[in-house]
């Protein structure tokens, strides 16, 4: 059986601190199927959801998107 990954509040806080220290571009092609014309607002809304759903493995899409955005930003640096 595949292990289901959940997050701790500390992990979400650490990810939030990383984003707070960044200057985000206005828009981003997150992956081949996800584009945002307002990245700062998208990140804000994803964190709103992440703080509610971080312990529910069925609702972790928001955190996975945040990690993908972080990875894209790190590649740009």
DSSP class of residue 28?
E
Which residue ranges of the chain lie beneath pLDDT 70? Answer: 1-4
Residue 4: predicted pLDDT: 67
Residue 3: predicted pLDDT: 63
Residue 69: predicted pLDDT: 98
Residue 77: predicted pLDDT: 81
Could you tell me how many residues make up the chain?
A: 77
| Rounded Cα–Cα distance for residues 28 and 34 (Å) | 9
Three-state secondary-structure class, residue 74: helix
């Amino acid at each position: 059986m595949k292990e289901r990954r959940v997050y701790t509040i500390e992990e979400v806080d650490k990810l939030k601190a990383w984003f707070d220290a960044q200057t985000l571009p206005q828009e981003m092609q997150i992956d081949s199927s996800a584009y945002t014309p307002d990245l700062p607002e998208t990140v804000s809304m994803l964190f709103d959801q992440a703080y509610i759903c971080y312990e529910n493995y069925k609702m972790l899409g928001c955190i996975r998107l945040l990690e993908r955005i972080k990875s894209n930003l790190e590649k740009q640096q």
